[in-house]
Structure 1
Amino acid sequence: MKSKIYGLLLASLMIVTLCPLSVSAKSVNNKAKTVTVSQTNDVITVSKNVKVNSTFSSPKALGIKKAKLKRLYNIVSDNTKVATVTAAGTVKGIKKGATTITLTSKADGSVYAKINVNVKNRYNKQKLRLMSAIIYAEAGSECYAGKKAVGIVIMNRVRSKDFPGTLKKVIYQPGQFGPVRNGSLKKALKLYDEGRLNKKCIKAAKATLNGDRVVTYKNVKTDMSSYLFFSGYVSGMRLQIQGHQFK
């Protein structure tokens, strides 16, 4: 009987010794560990087209609130000659070209977002040709301010409900512009096509087609947004630049 009991005990001991123990890591590693999680966010990048003298809201483009932008980020333009940006995030196109608007954290200077801005002109080749020619025909001998003022009046008419709604229709409206009747506009168009038109007339055409409505004459700036008429003599004139009166 004793020999049987000893045999059973010996067998049990051999089973315990031969079977591996399964121990959970939890029972072994009782010491707590501190884990630091660092989150890296990709820089938000969007692209926007804007025309010269037009604006768009960068907070809206990025899908964030304006107050959040002003509170948390600095915003700058890489090229202010192409596009500018205010602290509130309003981007304005200045001249044709490309630039980048960058938002950086006020806390650590990290880049949050970039807006690739493409500034486009507000005119095509045909409009530039026609405007340059009419400015030359009407004010070819005038100073740059006088050339530009003529272009502004024409563009104001394009925008006015009292005149035809396109540049071509405004210029060719019956009884309005002498160069259309006397043939000098046709000659100016030929000069433009030959590359011989006065460069300042082309410069004035570009400025006015792009929405510039301010002239500087004798160191005085005048906003001509409401001017619709010009001639050698205009009753009730508000501005005179060399040989032209404007109102």
Structure 2
Amino acid sequence: MRRKILGTGLLMLALLATAAHASEYDCGSLENSLGPFDYNDPAMRVPTGENPMGQVRRVENVHFQPDMQFLNTRKFSPERLRAEFAYTLGAFPNHRIALNAVSRLEMLYSKQLPPIGKRFTADCFFDRAIRFRPEDKGVRFVYGVHLHQRGRFQDALKEYKLAETLGEDSANFYYNFGLLHADMKNWQEARRCAEIAYGQGAQLPGLAQRIQKAGHGTVTGGQARAAAVSEEATPSPAPEAR
């Protein structure tokens, strides 16, 4: 019996190692000329002699400027934006704002982006981020949004649940999680998430409206009552920046 359990354990380790190797083969190594650094490490924001503004700002000031983050294609071409995001994510694989930006870039400008190798796709950037920091709740949240927006509801659900388990608890997270449950017709869970989100001050009315229109009552908590009666049509928010 002991040998059987040991054999099963060794088999699982072998399968995990094989999967990791395949993932690296498809999406590339984490090795980079700069980094990789942990975006969540406070030390990355501390000025040093080598980096007077801190490592994060050193990269962002050139490669992830505000106009880039907000996909200002009047100032930067989609191809240029993809290259800048690739540089940023090479240095900081778990830079959740850049991950969200590259995801939105692909969704909004896929027809304008020239074909490129798989390693520079949003899916591969997420793959590397998860290999780098598998328990980063922000990465799991943003990956859930990425999957949700592409109609991969079951995969998105797994990521949202994992993010919640890891401690993600912002109003923005629960608002988006509630939208996923609404899309999946999981109305009880949609209400749970909505009440947390609006209880924390979420302002967008879309989730409360959907729950009410589906016949599941008015969401309680915070801004929900005003949101539910608002006539404004509001899209899903992007994950919070910080």
TM-score (norm 1): 0.23
Say which structure is richer in strand: 1
Please identify which structure carries the higher helix content: 2
Bigger relative contact order (CA 8 A; separation at least 6):
1
